[in-house]
């Protein structure tokens, strides 16, 4: 699936687009409707698009929501709200109650058109931006380079919001002027990257803990199954010794009980094998299938021989079944030991790699610290060193997490 996240359409017969000024916009200074956009989406193999508001009027957003109902390719809408209003929530709730309200995904206001470059830092504006997050919606930042520094600070003050930076804040490409835009775009990117990395760390921890939990559950289940097999093998041996002492009826009843216990073990083993398939390092348990089938057949044959009064043949089958259960237990133990050994070997390799990485990091840290001492905080190189220090910190955190994983 391919989604274009930003398209505009407008009907100049309905309302003017006051921002259409200058020769560079002449080619689009005409009515452009969804019917013209859809064929272009098809040509570009775009499945869906997000339609974004163009004028600071509340009337436009419901019209765009109408389009999201009537045109399948319009999967979402970015609407407009006046962030200078006392409280955006009443108008926002009107949007959401619209039949197409479920398709409203984001809100924006035109910071780029405000006379005050710090407009995004106004108390009423930030308060309303935070209210957007309360409804689970994204906020689109629409700025030019003069407002970008305020946008950076606004993002820092809004940890619960999710943002989209429209048009990468419209750098002055035609003029070949990339500063201070380039530095500011790096700053806002760092804000997003920091958040993403924290989320990734949390996801990795959750995934890691889930994998560890699954492995622990499987190990515990295998250990319990091993004990059950040993105990059942012992019971089968004891019953074999009682063949001449018990009546045919009692012997048959006890053999049926042992057979039923083994059927329960088979169910447990099947469940363990299903868990094992989902492990990052699954054990090779295929050999148990053949042993399980053989033991099951021997137990059934022992029951049959008892029912026919053939105690000697029954004893032979009981002995073979008992030995088969011991073999299954032994195989489970061997597979676990083999897995633990392989894991230890992998951990050792990982620890060696971590150690080498830490040695290299220590050299980088020493070099960076020496350079910090030599230069002024006003030197442009100082910022590069700051980014290098951040990378060293990040790599150290990664090494720490890896080392905990091998402990």
Residue with tokens 């390719």: 73
Torsion angles phi and psi, residue 157, rounded to 5: -85, 0
Which of 63, 39, 64 has the alpha carbon at shortest distance from 50?
64
Which of 285, 283, 284, 293 has the alpha carbon at shortest distance from 324?
293
For residue 103, what are its two tokens?
A: 């398709």
Residues in the chain: 407
Which of 225, 233, 227 has the alpha carbon at shortest distance from 326?
233
Q: In this predicted structure, what is the pLDDT of residue 203? A: 53
Q: In this predicted structure, what is the pLDDT of residue 56? A: 94
Which of 44, 48, 37 has the alpha carbon at shortest distance from 4?
48
Domain ranges of the chain: 3-177, 202-393
- Rounded to 10°, the helix 89-97/60-70 angle is 20
| 291 Cβ neighbours under 8 A, 6+ residues apart | 324, 327, 328, 331
Residue with tokens 């009337």: 59
| 326 Cβ neighbours under 8 A, 6+ residues apart | 229, 230, 233
- Cis amide leading into 180 (omega within 30): yes
* Spatial contact of 145 and 183, defined as CB atoms under 8 Å apart: no
Burial group, residue 405, by CB count within 10 angstroms (0-12, 13-18, 19+) = middle
* Spatial contact of 76 and 109, defined as CB atoms under 8 Å apart: no
The architecture of the domain spanning 3-177 is: Alpha-Beta Barrel (3.20)
Q: In this predicted structure, what is the pLDDT of residue 197? A: 47
For residue 287, what are its two tokens?
A: 């050999």
Burial group, residue 216, by CB count within 10 angstroms (0-12, 13-18, 19+) = exposed
Cα separation of the two ends of the chain:
42
Q: Residue 172 carries which DSSP code?
A: B
- Rounded to 10°, the helix 311-374/380-405 angle is 160
* CA atoms of 8 and 17, how far apart (whole Å): 11
pTM value?
0.51
List of E strands, 42-189 = 48-52, 74-80, 104-109, 138-141, 163-165
Torsion angles phi and psi, residue 181, rounded to 5: -55, -45
- Residue-by-residue pLDDT tens, the chain, 407 positions: 789 999 999 999 999 998 888 888 889 999 999 999 999 999 999 999 999 999 999 999 999 999 999 998 999 999 999 999 999 999 999 999 999 999 999 999 999 999 999 999 999 999 999 999 999 899 999 999 999 999 999 998 998 899 999 999 999 998 888 888 988 888 777 766 544 444 555 555 455 555 566 677 777 888 888 888 889 889 998 988 888 888 889 889 999 999 999 999 888 888 888 887 877 777 777 778 888 888 889 899 989 988 888 888 888 988 998 898 888 888 888 877 777 776 677 667 767 776 777 777 778 778 777 776 676 666 655 666 666 777 777 767 666 665 555 45
Q: How many other C-beta atoms lie within 10 A of the C-beta of residue 27? A: 7
* Spatial contact of 332 and 276, defined as CB atoms under 8 Å apart: no
* CA atoms of 80 and 140, how far apart (whole Å): 10
DSSP string, 1-33: --EEEEE--B-TTT---TT--SGGGGGG-S-B-
């Amino acid at each position: 699936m391919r989604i274009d996240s930003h398209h505009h359409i407008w009907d100049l017969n309905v309302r003017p687009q006051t921002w259409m000024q200058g020769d560079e916009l002449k080619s689009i200074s005409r009515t452009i409707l969804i019917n013209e956009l859809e064929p272009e989406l098809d040509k570009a193999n775009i499945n869906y698009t997000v339609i974004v508001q163009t004028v600071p009027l509340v009337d436009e957003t419901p019209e765009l929501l109408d389009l999201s109902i009537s045109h399948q390719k319009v999967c979402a809408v970015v609407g407009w709200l006046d962030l200078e209003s006392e409280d955006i929530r009443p108008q926002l709730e009107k949007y959401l109650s619209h039949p197409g309200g479920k398709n409203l995904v984001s809100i924006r206001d035109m910071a780029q058109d405000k006379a005050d470059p710090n407009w995004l830092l106004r108390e009423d504006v930030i308060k309303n931006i935070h209210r957007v997050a309360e409804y689970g919606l994204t906020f689109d930042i629409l700025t030019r380079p003069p407002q970008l520094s305020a946008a950076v600070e606004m993002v820092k003050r809004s940890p619960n919001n999710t943002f989209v930076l429209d048009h990468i804040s419209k750098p002055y490409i035609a003029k070949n002027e990339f500063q201070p835009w380039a530095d500011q775009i790096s700053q806002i990117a760092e804000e997003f990257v920091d958040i993403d990395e924290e989320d990734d760390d949390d996801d990795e921890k959750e995934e890691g803990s889930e994998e560890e939990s699954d492995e622990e559950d499987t190990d515990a289940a295998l250990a319990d199954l091993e004990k059950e097999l040993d105990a059942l093998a012992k019971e089968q041996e004891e019953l074999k010794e009682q063949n001449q002492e018990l009546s045919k009826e009692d012997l048959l009843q006890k053999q049926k009980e042992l057979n039923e216990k083994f059927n329960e073990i088979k169910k447990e083993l099947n469940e363990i094998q299903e868990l094992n398939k989902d492990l990052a390092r699954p054990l090779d348990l295929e050999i148990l299938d053949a042993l399980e089938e053989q033991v099951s057949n021997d137990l059934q044959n022992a029951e049959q021989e008892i029912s026919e009064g053939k105690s000697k043949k029954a004893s032979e089958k009981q002995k073979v079944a008992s030995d088969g259960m011991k073999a299954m237990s032994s195989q489970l133990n061997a597979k676990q030991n083999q897995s633990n050994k392989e894991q230890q070997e992998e951990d050792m390799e990982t620890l060696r790699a971590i150690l080498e990485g830490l040695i290299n990091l220590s050299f980088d840290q020493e070099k960076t610290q020496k350079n910090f001492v030599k230069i002024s905080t006003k030197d442009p190189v100082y910022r590069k060193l700051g980014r290098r220090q951040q990378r060293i910190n990040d790599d150290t955190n990664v090494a720490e997490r890896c080392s905990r994983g091998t402990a």
